[in-house]
A and B are shown apart, each in its own frame.
Chain A
């Protein structure tokens, strides 16, 4: 849905995307503790697996982005997780491209990161219904932001892309609807079944990782 291939965007847009993506990935990697790597990786696999399911919305069907829920559950790790997912899709299936890895990562991960930072405090101690509403808001907002970023990447690359960028933005409307409902129900479910899963990522990161000094790598402070 948001996989811009190689050969479409202008070089300044590609470079800008790459710089932002490197910053986001660096920030994310510094914020995840070494003991959290399996959690982030396997949760990311879960998100990628469910995003392959076609969800009916009105006459069409959509594939969920799930970046809003990722932001709520893994917070800053959303940048590295999305980047890894996009690398695999580009290599294994030919979705997206290599030069556009940066732009595509920013388009999907930045809204997720913002949702995580702004909305996850609202989930602490929330009832399932309220958690569901926050989840729905995160889902819809992230999809809308991603649509806006994709359209902006196209429009900034060439002025003749502007009409297409407007249409691209419209195609994100059904996705935002489906994403809001499915994410909302998923967050309400998690609030009932596993409240600690959506209790926020900040306190966990604050715990220092138990790395024995003998094997700690220089510059790898959690």
Chain B
């Protein structure tokens, strides 16, 4: 269960955990934007290594980091595999019309480094942050209140609705439903999933009515009380901001010198 909105956050005296969620949120955006603007392979390799070290040292755990690493979407694989062949340049191997170029390889490596550096940075800075605190930080950073309310409710009810869908799937299995892809069974499979989707949505609507009534009953009038974290930024936040700014400046300087 997520922590109560108004509860004082546990303060740890060192490391990423000592930083204010606002600092972590803004730092992640600044860092990712900076990486997106870099292009030199050496600078990007350094950035990827640095953010990897940061993720290992400060992220919420090595096992979670490894799970992040193996995740690459299908179209990213297509993109990376095709780039060596679609960028014209010095041929490396292959026969026309399929010639892999050195420039294409460089481009693929560049994108791979960028994607990973950004992933490590987000993991290190935001991976261990509870969504409830992210919502509070976003509110403190002047995000629209309704958007934050939506975010917090989705955080709260995401797991509930996943369990609802899992219960329905279990009931389907208990009635001997097995998804099948053959021509004769596809229609049955899709109809069954369509009905499941409809049922999940009906239950979501009914739950929303109950939740809405319960919120009104407790005096909700469009605002969440004390939902923004108020503590002032500390010395750790200043130190982190300076370090990050120095790292970003160094990366851009190295890129211009190279």
Residues of A participating in the B interface, judged by any CB pair closer than 8 Å:
1, 3, 5-8, 11, 14, 25-26, 29, 32, 34-35, 37-50, 52-59, 61, 64, 66, 69, 73, 80-81, 83-85, 87-88, 90-95, 97-99, 150, 154, 160-164, 167-168, 171, 178, 181-190, 193-194, 197, 209, 211-212, 215-217, 220
Q: Which residues of A contact B122 (CB under 8 A)?
A: 6, 90-91, 94, 97-98
Contact sample, A vs B, 15 pairs, CB 8 Å cutoff: A29-B144, A39-B205, A42-B204, A44-B150, A52-B165, A54-B179, A55-B190, A56-B180, A57-B181, A59-B181, A80-B150, A99-B33, A99-B118, A160-B87, A220-B222
Q: Is the CB of A44 within 8 A of B154?
A: yes
Q: How many A-B residue pairs have CB under 8 A?
A: 260
Any A CB within 8 A of the CB of B173: no
Q: Which residues of B contact A11 (CB under 8 A)?
A: 36-37
Q: Is the CB of A7 within 8 A of B144?
A: no
Q: Which residues of B contact A57 (CB under 8 A)?
A: 181, 186
Q: Is the CB of B150 within 8 A of A37?
A: yes
> Per-residue 0/1 for B52-91: is the Cβ within 8 Å of any A Cβ (1 yes, 0 no)?
0000000000000000100101111011001100110000
In Å, the complex CA distance between A7 and B72 comes to 13
Q: Which residues of B contact A83 (CB under 8 A)?
A: 147
* B32–chain A nearest beta-carbon distance, Å: 5
Q: Is the CB of A29 within 8 A of B204?
A: no
Q: Is the CB of B29 within 8 A of A29?
A: no
Q: Is the CB of A84 within 8 A of B151?
A: yes
Size range of the chain B interface in the assembly: 35 or more
Q: Which residues of A contact B36 (CB under 8 A)?
A: 6-7, 11, 14, 99
Q: A160-B107, A182-B197 are in contact. List 15 more A-B contacts (CB 8 A).
A: A5-B76, A5-B118, A35-B212, A37-B146, A41-B149, A48-B162, A56-B189, A73-B201, A91-B127, A98-B32, A164-B82, A167-B75, A181-B186, A185-B195, A186-B197
Q: Is the CB of B222 within 8 A of A34?
A: yes
Q: Which of B1-57 contact A (CB under 8 A)?
A: 28-29, 32-33, 35-37
Residues of B participating in the A interface, judged by any CB pair closer than 8 Å:
28-29, 32-33, 35-37, 68, 71, 73-76, 78-79, 82-83, 86-87, 104, 107, 111, 113-115, 117-119, 122-123, 126-127, 129, 131, 134, 144-147, 149-151, 153-155, 157-158, 160-162, 164-165, 169, 179-181, 186-187, 189-191, 193-205, 207-209, 211-212, 215, 221-223
Q: Which residues of A contact B114 (CB under 8 A)?
A: 6-8
* B190–chain A nearest beta-carbon distance, Å: 4
Q: Which residues of A contact B83 (CB under 8 A)?
A: 160, 164
Q: Which of A8, A26, A37, A43 contacts B149 (CB 8 A)?
A: A37
The verdict on A217 contacting B201 (CB below 8 Å), with A49-B161, A98-B118, A98-B122 known, is no
Q: Is the CB of A7 within 8 A of B117?
A: yes
In Å, the complex CA distance between A97 and B221 comes to 34
Please give me the residue from chain A that is nearest to B166 by CB atom.
A49
The verdict on A48 contacting B158 (CB below 8 Å), with A14-B36, A92-B131, A189-B194 known, is yes
Q: Is the CB of B211 within 8 A of A50?
A: no
Q: Is the CB of A185 within 8 A of B181?
A: no
